[in-house]
Amino acid sequence: MADIKAQYEAIFNRITSEIRSAVEDTLREGAEEARNNVATRGTAHSGKAGRIETGAMINSIDYEITSSSENLVEGRFGFNGQPAYTVFQEGGFIHNFSGRAVEGRYATTDAASNAEEKFRARIGRIR
- pLDDT, tens digit (0-9, with 9 covering 90-100), for 91-107: 999 988 889 898 888 99
CA distance 39 to 105: 10
**pLDDT by residue (tens digit) across 66-86?**
999 888 899 999 999 888 888
Most distant CA pair in the chain: distance in Å? 75
Phi, psi for residue 102 in degrees, rounded to 5 = -105, 120
Structural domain boundaries in the chain: 2-124
Q: What is the mean pLDDT of each run of 10 residues along the chain (127 residues)?
A: 89 92 97 94 70 84 93 92 87 90 91 96 90
The model's pTM is 0.86
